[in-house]
Structure 1
Amino acid sequence: MINQTSLNQLIRDAIEQALGEVPANAETLYKLGTSLYHMNQLQEALTCLLRYIGLQPGNCEAYNLIGNIYAKVNQLDKACSYLKQAIQINPAYAEAYNNLGGVYYQANQLEMAEQILPEAICLRPNFYEAYKNLGTVYSKMNRLKEAEQVLLQAIELKPDYADAIFTLSLVELLTEKFTQGWKNYEYRPSLINRKQPDIPRWQGEDLSGRSILLYHEQGLGDTLQFIRYAWQVAALGAKTTVWIQTPLAQLEFQGSPAFSLYEGTDSPPEIFDFACPLLSLPLIFSTDAATIPQYSSYIRADANLVQKWREHLKGIHDTGLLKVGVAWAGNHTHTDDHNRSIAFDTFQLLFLLTGLEWISLQVGPKAEEVNCCPSQIRDVSVLLTNFAETAAVIDNLDLVITVDTSVAHLAGAMGKEVWALLSSMPDWRWMLEREDTPWYPSMRLFRQRERGNWVEVLARVKAALQQKMAKHNFSRHY
């Protein structure tokens, strides 16, 4: 068997041979570039295909592949340029129209995507991928009825089309069509692509005297949100173990030991009767907005860590001012991060409000942005090494203001007052229009009224914060 190192060497040798031929063999370059593309060897594929179109500039499929490669590495201007050249060479090339629409969507140019994708469908009426992509665009534009219609068309053309079924589930859950939404949510990519534990999948069977492993599958925020179902599972009589991500391992859960926790990269060694991913539990329990498991708080900070942070933040405690934690950016690898996160230059408009204590809860690459802000903000990011530390800081605060990221879920699960700032088309879990959420009673939602306009959102947050400050100051003096 050839290992990866040997394979990479073979690839490099093949590329050098193809590029070194004089005269260069265009057909070899094209075949090699295409093969490398399908092997996800993108840079090597690009090298071959660029050399190929220098020899054979009339092959629309080569331009399409180059456009796709640039899209995959997020060089969207180049991706658009090559896909447009593919269309110029062959105006009937439906695949290139569909890919160009995808690039426009990736660049958040939704109106352009809306214009170009119907061209692909017109050229190829059974083009189910283009229907799905158009449905995704409509959903992001908050045109949900149109999104549902075209997604159903995609599924009619290809009944087992998992991507379209999953995308449809997001629309259904967003609009509170929970019965069908949870069913279709079982087609989510993270569930399909993840290696499942070699344990029988729980579908709702009697758990009396049995054992079950509930396991994470998506982000940290998802685990924090859906671990609430572990208490319901344990109440059915099962010996319950929850497999969580390592950063969450030191958090404390109310009511333990209703279930035990396990962290690790591999499945626990114990033998279980059943296993179930956390995000499949709402389906099994037939969850709707009225039956979401309600807990005012189900995660607590370690008392020793809370005291440690109280000492660390002693200076701001002594002022008697409101203590407000903030996070303006989520995981930069999230596919919707460009909509969910707020540029710091915009977010810092909040910091013009004085008479309170600001504490940055931001971690990751964006944490250092606070150093450029002239306002007085306590930056504790280097000490937030896990969620137990973050929880202990939050326990010492009066309010958390954050974008849609794991900090919002942590604060909500702790029962801390938290204001979540949401894009005009938020993740399905926040539903539509409402300013509250049945997932977290202590959370208030501030939604964009216009796509991309965070300034208006922050103006409302600032006004609400001024009102809260006035009440706080009144109670301090009387």
Structure 2
Amino acid sequence: MNKPFSQATRADIRLAGATTLGGSAGNAASLLQIVLERRFAGDWESVERLCLPHFVHNPGDVEIAWQLACAQWRRHDPVSAERTMRIADAAIPGNANVAAALAQFVAEQGRYGAARRLYERALKLVPSATTPAVDLAELELRKGDWHRGWARYEARLARTDRAHNSVVSIMSRVAPRWNGQRLEGRTLLVFSEQGNGDDIQMMRFIPALAARVRDEGGQMVLACRRSLHPLFARHYQTCIEIETGAYALHGKPDYCLPMMSVPFALRLKPGQVDGKRYLSADSSRAAAWKSHVRERTPRTEALQIGLVWRGDPAHRRDAQRSMTLAQLAPIFALPGVVFHPLTPAGPPLPASLPHCDLTGDYRYGFDDVAAHVSALDAVVTIDSAPLHLGGALGVPVYAMLDHVSQWAWGTAEEQRWYDSVTLFRQPRPGDWRPVVERIAAALESMNAMREHATRR
């Protein structure tokens, strides 16, 4: 998912409950401190170099094993990460955290059957563990087992390490969680829980849930983050900005429901999802952005292509989904294309590349992004919020997926969520070249069709 680090289902810094065997405890603690400093700096090569000698002599130090495996995974080597955790697992059998970590790195290779068995083993060891339960739920959702997947995904809400000021903690103090109680005469508050992309993806189900609440004689209020409010409020009017804390604006809430629980509340099945557009840009803002693009682009006759190549570095899987500019070289070599970055405050595109950065003109959050995207010919993006936004708007999207990616994109290059989205998946972890070359060919074809239509 597009979830920020603070809301990740796994504590991606330390392996909770890890056990250390062998070696000096003081030396191990000192090493771990240095390792964590390098980790926070994003220096994964140093993390691997520091951990490996200690791990060779102390395979039972599963905390160092976890740090080593994470470094290997972040460097696009899940095979080595799996090997590291298997050694730790042999040294300390029966550790549920190690089994869950091992399952993660097996899943990162696309070996979902083996990963499932490892997650189930971890849950057998500690039935109340949330990390393997949530990871297994995402695996079930990926494979289309939504009956079990959505129910199991509720385990994320049972985490005990959630910060006091996290949105789920705050909402638990506003009103009790809704578990299907009758809503006659009552108010249900549905709230933003995870990333912007998750909210956009789940927004399609808000009308169906609201209709059910109305049929029961209740009312539903949507509390979304400020950046999404203008876009969402146009499609569901009983909508507030979650940051204001004005949860009782439409009546004191009787129950709360996190947005990622809406499919579970609806008992959603895969066949009930279609790819039709369900959001739209504000018409006047879209017209203004169309003129803005035409006035600011260096080449009006060229394809105008939205581009996202980097995500939030705090995201659990950002090392897998984000790209460098050098990896986009085949796309940048295309003639007749102007690129429009879609993420504010991101790294700049080179001056030699035809591009038009209008992100400094965003004033209304995703409502401006929606209008901007609607004025373009297509969007090329990694697995991030603009992918979901483009799909929800019905804009052509070429999605550059890492080998595994978010659960919603399944296991191949087919998806049910958005008719306008085409998936391009890495054939192996870290291998972006085939993806970029195929998208370059698609853009070249789009340009040729455009030129042919112009000549007619």
- Is TM > 0.5 for Structure 1 vs Structure 2? yes
Per the alignment, residue 6 of structure 2 pairs with none
Per the alignment, residue 127 of structure 1 pairs with 95
**Does 2:194 match 1:233?**
no
Decide whether the 8 Å contact of 1:66 with 1:79 is kept in 2: no
For 1:137, which of 105, 111, 114 is the aligned residue? 105
How far apart in 2 are the matches of 1:91 and 1:394?
51
Decide whether the 8 Å contact of 2:298 with 2:354 is kept in 1: no
For 2:443, which of 447, 465, 472 is the aligned residue? 465
Residue pairs, 1:230-269, within 5 angstroms: 230-236=206-212, 237=214, 238-251=218-231, 255-257=235-237, 259-266=238-245, 268-269=247-248
SS in 2 for 1:420: strand
Residue pairs, 1:315-354, within 5 angstroms: 315=295, 319-354=300-335
SS in 1 for 2:271: coil
1:221-252 Cα shifts (integer Å, max 9, x gaps):
11111122210121110322111111112225
Decide whether the 8 Å contact of 1:95 with 1:120 is kept in 2: no
**Paired amino acid for 1:428:** W
Number of aligned pairs? Answer: 419
- Provide closer, same or farther for how the CA distance between residues 107 and 468 of structure 1 changes in structure 2, counting only shifts above 3 A: closer
**Does 2:33 match 1:66?**
yes
Q: Structure with the greater relative contact order (CA < 8 A, sep ≥ 6): 1 or 2?
A: 2
**Paired amino acid for 2:117:** Q
Please identify, of 296-305 and 452-461, the stretch whose mean Cα deviation from structure 2 is larger: 296-305
Please identify, of 83-92 and 372-381, the stretch whose mean Cα deviation from structure 2 is larger: 83-92
SS in 1 for 2:400: strand
Residue pairs, 1:181-192, within 5 angstroms: 181-188=149-156
Decide whether the 8 Å contact of 1:94 with 1:119 is kept in 2: no
How far apart in 2 are the matches of 1:179 and 1:76?
38
Decide which structure has the larger Cα Rg and report it.
Answer: 1
- Provide closer, same or farther for how the CA distance between residues 346 and 102 of structure 1 changes in structure 2, counting only shifts above 3 A: closer
Decide whether the 8 Å contact of 1:201 with 1:275 is kept in 2: yes
1:133-169 Cα shifts (integer Å, max 9, x gaps):
1000001111111111111111111111111111111
Per the alignment, residue 385 of structure 2 pairs with 406
Measure how far apart 1:410 and its partner are. Answer: 1.2
Measure how far apart 1:62 and its partner are. Answer: 2.5
Residue pairs, 1:250-289, within 5 angstroms: 250-251=230-231, 255-257=235-237, 259-266=238-245, 268-269=247-248, 270-289=251-270
**Paired amino acid for 2:145:** K
- Provide closer, same or farther for how the CA distance between residues 206 and 352 of structure 1 changes in structure 2, counting only shifts above 3 A: same
For 1:445, which of 415, 418, 423 is the aligned residue? 423
State, as a whole percentage, how many aligned pairs show the same letter. Answer: 24
Per the alignment, residue 418 of structure 1 pairs with 397
How far apart in 2 are the matches of 1:83 and 1:460?
38
SS in 2 for 1:432: coil
For 2:345, which of 364, 371, 383 is the aligned residue? 364
Decide whether the 8 Å contact of 2:207 with 2:236 is kept in 1: no
Measure how far apart 1:99 and its partner are. Answer: 4.3
Question: In angstroms, what is the RMSD of aligned CA positions?
Answer: 2.8
For 2:189, which of 201, 206, 213 is the aligned residue? 213
- Provide closer, same or farther for how the CA distance between residues 418 and 98 of structure 1 changes in structure 2, counting only shifts above 3 A: closer
Per the alignment, residue 305 of structure 1 pairs with 285
SS in 1 for 2:188: strand
Residue pairs, 1:84-99, within 5 angstroms: 84=52, 86-87=54-55, 90=58, 92-99=60-67
SS in 2 for 1:379: coil
1:31-54 Cα shifts (integer Å, max 9, x gaps):
xxxxxx99xxxxxxxxxxxxxxxx
Decide whether the 8 Å contact of 1:212 with 1:239 is kept in 2: yes
Measure how far apart 1:86 and its partner are. Answer: 4.1
Please identify, of 71-80 and 395-404, the stretch whose mean Cα deviation from structure 2 is larger: 71-80
How far apart in 2 are the matches of 1:116 and 1:276?
39
SS in 1 for 2:427: coil
How far apart in 2 are the matches of 1:406 and 1:191?
25
**Does 2:144 match 1:176?**
yes
Alignment gaps of 5+ in structure 2: 1-12, 15-22, 163-167
Decide whether the 8 Å contact of 1:296 with 1:440 is kept in 2: yes
For 1:111, which of 79, 97, 101 is the aligned residue? 79
Measure how far apart 1:220 and its partner are. Answer: 0.9
Measure how far apart 1:88 and its partner are. Answer: 5.9
**Does 2:276 match 1:296?**
yes
Alignment gaps of 5+ in structure 1: 1-36, 39-55
**Paired amino acid for 1:173:** L
- Provide closer, same or farther for how the CA distance between residues 321 and 219 of structure 1 changes in structure 2, counting only shifts above 3 A: same
**Paired amino acid for 2:78:** L
1:270-308 Cα shifts (integer Å, max 9, x gaps):
41122101100111212222112x463222222232222
SS in 1 for 2:417: coil
Per the alignment, residue 15 of structure 1 pairs with none
**Paired amino acid for 1:416:** V
- Provide closer, same or farther for how the CA distance between residues 190 and 360 of structure 1 changes in structure 2, counting only shifts above 3 A: farther
How far apart in 2 are the matches of 1:144 and 1:82?
31
**Paired amino acid for 1:122:** A
SS in 1 for 2:315: coil
How far apart in 2 are the matches of 1:108 and 1:190?
31
